[in-house]
Amino acid sequence: MARLFLISNRVAVPGAGGHPGGLEVALKATLRKHSCVWLGWSGEVHEKPRTRTITRGDNSYVIVDLTSEDFDEYYNGFANRVLWPIFHYRLDLAEFSRRDLSGYLRVNEHFADELAGMLEPDDIVWVHDYHLIPLAKALRARGLTNRIGFFLHIPLPPPEILTAMPNHERLIPSLCDYDLVGFQTHGDAANFARYLAKELGTPSHIPLRLGSGERAMRIGTFPVGIETREFTRLARRASKTSFARRVMASVPGTLMIGVDRLDYSKGITLRLEAYERFLAANPQWRGKITYLQITPKSRSTIKEYSEMEAAVNSAAGRINGAYSEANWAPVRYVNRPYSRAALSGLYAAARVGLVTPMRDGMNLVAKEYVAAQDPDDPGVLILSRFAGAADECREALLVNPYDPDAVAAAIARAMAMSWSERKARHSELYAALLRNDISKWGDKFLKALSPQDKKGPTALRDLLAPATGSAATGPTRPPATRQ
Ligand code: ADP
């Protein structure tokens, strides 16, 4: 029987500890339904790298060590310092080095060698995220003709930005070696189609047929969801725990929550600035609102991240210095991770969820916040229009995160929103989350990738046209702006 190979930068071996990352949660249903082999980096750096296989039930986990050179060039270098900023529209933060690109390609070749030794002709391969863009090309070069799909979890910028990346022509066209390339939003898919039309001269009026031989690449939109009902149940239980009760008892008045990794794409300093403006413009709310920002540190070895840590600390300190009273501080800034259960209880307790990334592939926090609300007395989601989640969460208060006055006005609006409007918005948002529950995400992608799927190749023309239709089979509509 055909096996399913999942390939990603990191592998989450069950029972190995740590908090489940977004990728693990997204793949959970797929790992349950299929017999999978999941291959990726072990997280360890050794001068003599090893490859180990761990078996858990029907699934195997193949974990590969990196050398310190691989780690510097592939992970810290090209993935984190070139692809991550550029794909998040931050050309100003990209630091390109040829050495890092060759390290990135080398690790992809190494993963391809490991895989080539394991694959049978009818096995299906599903590659995840920006660390592994050229993997299909490396596999095709080894003569493999398996069905290979790719899903990009982060945004894909328009060609005007992508083409500013040195050597983009060595990397982006290699996506054509996949049978299926999936994106979070129609906008990302359309950006890819525009890149192909512009850079490869692919005529936009004919079906796309690229790559080696007769293989035809297809492009799809598969927005990642959450386990909606499960998260709602978790939040209901968690809000009755002593942890949630103690937190609420310690908060004077209303709670507003932000939960993000410390990353420049999340817009945390701009968000604090917006809150500061809200406090300045709305003295009646001083002493009655507490903004809890939960931000575990990430990638602190990179300079921009440690600078950002200092900037967020200083903005939170400035606001508390300006507005605190003996019995109230406007900002609580917490630097540690919480369990999913504890987090769900905090979301449930918060009247406002403030999710304002400057650019985000999807943003699961926005969806988790909605799922955690009590439908009879729900809170209000304020969401950046530049998060992929904005395509589905059209009943959130959609804001431009670059405009702190507009975000401040949205906070004021959320705080004063009537019960009936909160309820009506929440019910629409919740229905959207149910429609696109994560349990179906893997099925939709794998169905589109399977050899039995008889749909023809994607017509670029369809992607370049204004979007209509539903998520996985067709494009989603761009969000409407409310304010
Ligand atoms: P990204 O993948 O860019 O970090 P997402 O919002 O899509 O952003 O996903 C973040 C995931 O990490 C969510 O599932 C969220 O619950 C989880 N998470 C974020 N902050 C914390 C935290 N402090 N403790 C535990 N989990 C967290």
Which residue lies with its CA nearest to atom 16 of ligand 1?
365
How confident is the model at residue 476, as a pLDDT?
33
Instruction: Look at strands 397-399 and 124-128 and give their pairing.
Output: unpaired
**From the CA of 364, how far away is ligand 1's center (Å)?**
7
Q: Percent of the chain, pLDDT > 90?
A: 78
The two three-digit tokens of residue 34, written as one number: 């299929």
d(CA 377, CA 121): 54
Tell me what the mean pLDDT of segment 193-200 comes to. 90
Cα Rg for the chain, rounded, in angstroms?
23
Mean pLDDT to the nearest integer, 29-36: 92
Instruction: Determine the distance separating the centroid of ligand 1 and the alpha carbon of 414, expressed in angstroms.
Output: 23
**Residue 365 Cα: closest atom of ligand 1:** 6
- Residue 388 CA to ligand 1 center (angstroms) comes to 15
- For residue 360, indicate whether it is catalytic: yes
Query: CB under 6 Å to ligand 1: residues?
Result: 19, 22, 259, 261, 294, 296, 337-338, 343, 362-365, 368
Q: What is the pLDDT of residue 214?
A: 59
pLDDT in tens, 258-284: 999 999 999 999 999 999 999 999 999
> d(Cα 438, Cα 240) in Å, to the nearest integer?
26
In this prediction, residues 311-320 reach a mean pLDDT of 96
* Residue nearest (by alpha carbon) to ligand 1 atom 21: 337
Tell me what the pLDDT averaged over the chain comes to: 90
pLDDT(472) > 50: no
Least Cα distance to 392 among 464, 321, 472, 336 occurs for: 472
Q: Are strands 254-259 and 352-355 parallel, antiparallel or unpaired?
A: parallel
pLDDT of residue 238 exceeding 90, the answer is yes
Beta-bridged to residue 352, according to DSSP, are 256, 380
Lowest mean pLDDT among 60-69, 177-186, 416-425, 454-463: 454-463
**Strands ordered across the beta sheet of 218-221:** 51-56, 59-66, 36-45, 4-10, 124-128, 147-151, 180-183, 218-221
Atom number of ligand 1 nearest to Cα 294: 23
Distance (angstroms) between ligand 1 centre and the Cα of 38 equals: 22
Residue 481's pLDDT is: 38
Q: What are the angstrom distances between the C-alpha of 273 and each of 293, 311, 366, 406?
A: 13, 11, 20, 11
Q: One of 177, 260, 360, 391 is an active-site residue; which one?
A: 360
Q: Which atom of ligand 1 is nearest to the CA of 295?
A: 23
Atom of ligand 1 nearest to the CA of 226: 14
74: helix, strand or coil: helix
Q: How far does residue 17's CA lie from ligand 1's centre (Å)?
A: 16
Burial class for 265, CB neighbours closer than 10 Å (0-12, 13-18, 19+): buried
| 460, pLDDT greater than 70 | no
pLDDT beyond 90 at 101: yes
Phi/psi at 339 (nearest 5 deg)? Answer: -65, 160
Ligand 1: which of 153, 259, 358 to mutate, judged by most atoms within 8 Å of the beta carbon? 259
Atom 15 (ligand 1): residue with closest C-alpha?
A: 365
CA separation for the pair 125, 299 (Å, rounded): 29
Question: What value does the mean pLDDT take over residues 38-42?
Answer: 96
359 CA distance to ligand 1 middle (Å): 15
Specify the range with the lowest mean pLDDT, choosing from 39-48, 122-131, 302-311. Answer: 302-311
Indicate if 19 belongs to the active site: no
The catalytically annotated residue of 34, 153, 186, 426 is 153
Nearest CA to ligand 1 atom 24: 337
Pick from 365, 367, 441 the residue to mutate for probing ligand 1's pocket: most ligand atoms within 8 Å of its CB: 365
Q: Which atom of ligand 1 is nearest to the CA of 334?
A: 23
pLDDT top residue among 455 and 354: 354
pLDDT at 413 over 90: yes
Q: Residue 282 Cα, ligand 1 centroid: separation in angstroms?
A: 30
- Ligand 1 midpoint to CA 229 (Å): 18
Q: How far is the CA of 268 from the centre of ligand 1 (A)?
A: 14
What is the average pLDDT across 327-351?
95
Burial of 381 (0-12, 13-18, 19+ CB in 10 A): buried
Which atom number of ligand 1 is nearest to the Cα of residue 298?
Answer: 4
Which residue has better confidence, 77 or 212?
Answer: 77
Average pLDDT for 60-73: 96
**Paired tokens of 446:** 């794998």
Banded pLDDT at 467 (limits 50, 70, 90) = low
Which whole number is the average pLDDT over 196-208?
69
Residue among 27, 261, 381, 393 whose CB has most ligand 1 atoms within 8 A, to mutate: 261
User: Given the CA of residue 154, which atom of ligand 1 is nearest to it?
Assistant: 3
Percent share of the chain, pLDDT over 70:
90
- Ligand 1 pocket: which of 364, 381, 438, 441 to mutate (most atoms <8 Å of CB)? 364
